[in-house]
Amino acid sequence: MRIARSAKSRLGKVVTVDDISYLEAKAFLNKKGGKASELLEEIFDLVGGRIKLIESINNDLEDGVSWAGKWYIRK
């Protein structure tokens, strides 16, 4: 028996979130403070404007984890 309801209909509203700009990333990291704001250019070159990745790197740096060896972009 096939169910007529699809997963899409159960999702509700879908919101699209674009990447943030360099200036928005700078403002975000400056507000958070810490080491990530000093490394903004390197971080932004690596992950672009993906806010969750920027936030993850920032959290790692706050926890004392070196992000340079951990983070890479697979192509």
Contact 26, 38 (CB under 8 A): no
Amino acid 71: pLDDT: 61
* Nearest to 71, CA basis, from 52, 51, 47: 47
> 72 pLDDT band (50/70/90 cuts)?
low
Contact 40, 54 (CB under 8 A): no
Average pLDDT of the segment spanning 58-63: 85
* Nearest to 34, CA basis, from 58, 53, 51, 57: 58
Q: What is the mean pLDDT of the chain?
A: 79
